[in-house]
Amino acid sequence: MKRLGDILVNKEPFEEILMGNEAVVRAMVETGTKVVSSYPGSPTPEIATAIYSIPKDLRPFYFEFSVNEKVAGEVAFGSAVNGNLSCVFFKSVGLNVALDSFVQFGLMNILGGLVVVLGDDPGANSSQNEQDNRNVYKMSRVTVFEPASPKEAYGYYIKAAQFAAKENTVAVLRLTTHVCHARQKVKFGRFEPGSTPYRTDFDRENGPYIALTTMALDMKRQSIKKLHQAKAYVKYEGLNTVHLSGDSHGKGIITSGLSFLSVMDVFEISKFRADILKLGMVNPLEEECILSFLKDHDEILILEELDDIFELQIKSLAFDNALTTKIIGKICDEDYIGEYTPDRTMATLARTWPDMVKMPENKGVFPFEVPPRPAQMCPGCGHRSAFSAIKNALDKEDVTVADIGCHTLGYMPPYNIGEILMCMGASMGMASGLALFNDKKRVVAFLGDSTFFHAGLPGIVNAVFNKHDVTLIIMENNTTAMTGHQDHAGNDIPIVGVLKGLGIENILSCDTYSQAKLTDIVKQSMAAKGLSVVIAKHPCMLKFTRLARKKSGFVQKHISIDQSVCNKTHDCVARFGCPTFVRNPDESVDINTDLCIGDGSCKPSCPEQAIGFGRGEK
Ligand SMILES: Cc1ncc(C[n+]2csc(CCOP(=O)(O)OP(=O)(O)O)c2C)c(N)n1
């Protein structure tokens, strides 16, 4: 079988089953995208995995993980005003970080063209909220393409790139979780290596590039004009498509993206039919096709996940044109929440047209039972050892402030550390606020090492500058673990050096497996005034063991329990909480050797010292 990296740079057209995220990379290759940047986040990190699968000497573009989404966007933009077709990709909430720059993109004359691939996450499958970024696109006056499948993700990237390059502007490719992760057979086109050189043509004459005073208003006029061009483009390319059923009884559905596929799934198992207008460009809305669809139907259901973005625009369009078509949108609070799965879509159709659509009795459209899988730290995770040790340093009334990353899981039993969580890098600022006028409770903030560079630094600088009394614990595992082990700036820039450079004097650090020492230094740190920092280090063991297993001569170690010593206090299960431990009905404890990585981090958890390595192991 051919490797993904080779497939992605194939010169000849080919057909292959690829994930949506992978198909997007092939589109980058074919369109001559020259600079790509990102900060990792689900549902888009597999785009980077696919890029890395292409050997560096064959990769036809430059790729970097930037320190955060804002910088990533600026890098891609800078290269695009140099004349290159560029791309930045990140997750839904990444747009909040990038926003200060993102709102300016539409104002600029972007010589080469810029594509922003944005992974929205209806259902908050892997995000702290399920924000609908379509709200932002309208404000930012950007053109947005929304595919429903991997095949369309590939095709729409190409369209977005063509439009952006033609109009010297920015275009967004709006992906959602299942479009990113679905697999589909896709027909790919030709790739001509070397046909697009890197360009460095920035010239201020191509501007204005200084978005100030009256120039900002002229630039806004330009951005409005480009939206008109977008409407012409979508019409010309036929990206908004009408699917006639021939049996619709005057009923129509306006939808886009994954909701379109859910309607098709419902059609497959029911006799109900309606005509569909599928919007391929979701900002701006091209009014002509919508108006003619409205005029051709008596009743229209607008089926859109999350917010009522289409609904409000389409209702106002109908009002302005004095149309009498009945338009049905969201009717209750729940309609704004979660993914429009086939089940959910069928229920919505049955609610809208009860005479024509019936929900199957007692079961959904797809009656699969998926067992719940609560998140948990991996066996050997250094964060577990850290929380186990830090818990011993905390008093009941101390306040612990979480941040985003694998270490967020400290909020779960048995540790219950991290009582408030907002977004990346927010722990330090929140902790500072919590510490104000607070003599009774000590405040401890947590921060991952990737997040330290991403958005953590301003909060730390603020705490130094304003002399806040907080203990910050940096959970240093040398990787961006939760999103799949991407490198970050901390791999080259020592965090301790940065902290010292900020004038922080009270910095202690230790390996998290040295639990007694860690408890001790956290206590010391919490006794200090001002900002004190503990660096709790241990490499991510999932990454470490994966690499170790690939080395020749690797021998898998295991932990064993000396049953003659174990007195069933269950500290290993109840206080340390490694999933490797199995508590038997007779109260004895065993090791699940399929999970155990034999690192020994659990040994200090047993007061009887019943935990040791397997026979002959150290
Ligand atoms: C603004 C934003 N960008 C990206 C993400 C995705 N994300 C969730 S956890 C995480 C990793 C954080 O890494 P680190 O701080 O090193 O903590 P670790 O997971 O390694 O413990 C990322 C990037 C996010 N939630 N928000």
Mean pLDDT score, 268-286: 95
pLDDT of 557 > 90? The answer is: no
Q: How do residues 438-456 score in pLDDT, each as one tens digit?
A: 988 999 999 999 999 999 9
Q: Does domain 241-352 have CATH number 3.40.50.920?
A: yes
CA of 404 to the centre of ligand 1 (A): 5
Pocket flag, ligand 1, residue 449 (CB < 6 Å): yes
Mean pLDDT score, 109-131: 96
pLDDT at 520 (0 to 100): 98
Q: How do residues 500-535 score in pLDDT, each as one tens digit?
A: 999 999 999 999 999 999 999 999 999 999 999 999
CATH node for 555-613 = 3.30.70.20
- In a mutational test of the pocket of ligand 1, which residue from 411, 449, 480, 540 has the highest number of ligand atoms less than 8 Å from its CB? 480
For residues 35 and 44, the answer to whether their CB atoms sit within 8 Å is: no
The 10 Å Cβ neighbour count of residue 238 is: 10
Q: Does domain 4-237 have CATH number 3.40.50.970?
A: yes
pLDDT band, very low/low/confident/very high, at 616 (cuts 50, 70, 90): low
Q: Under CATH, domain 382-542 is a member of which superfamily?
A: Thiamin diphosphate (ThDP)-binding fold, Pyr/PP domains (3.40.50.970)
Residue whose C-alpha is closest to residue 179's, from 279, 126, 257: 257
Pocket flag, ligand 1, residue 41 (CB < 6 Å): yes
Residue whose C-alpha is closest to residue 342's, from 326, 363, 328: 363
pLDDT band, very low/low/confident/very high, at 358 (cuts 50, 70, 90): confident
Q: ∠ CA(420), CA(422), CA(424), 5° rounding? A: 125
The 10 Å Cβ neighbour count of residue 144 is: 27
pLDDT at 402 (0 to 100): 98
Pocket flag, ligand 1, residue 172 (CB < 6 Å): no
Domain boundaries, the chain: 4-237, 241-352, 382-542, 555-613
| Residue minimizing CA distance to atom 1 of ligand 1 | 94
| Number of the ligand 1 atom closest to the C-alpha atom of 41 | 6
Q: How do residues 128-142 score in pLDDT, each as one tens digit?
A: 999 999 999 999 999
Farthest-apart Cα atoms in the chain, separation: 85
Tokens of 522: 């956290």
Mean pLDDT score, 302-309: 98
Percent of the chain with pLDDT over 90: 91
Same fold yes or no, 241-352 and 555-613:
no
pLDDT band, very low/low/confident/very high, at 24 (cuts 50, 70, 90): very high
| Number of the ligand 1 atom closest to the C-alpha atom of 450 | 16
The position carrying tokens 């002399």 is 467
- Residue with the larger pLDDT of the pair 71 and 248: 71
pLDDT at 362 (0 to 100): 63
- The single-letter code of the amino acid at 466 is N
Tokens of 89: 């990709």
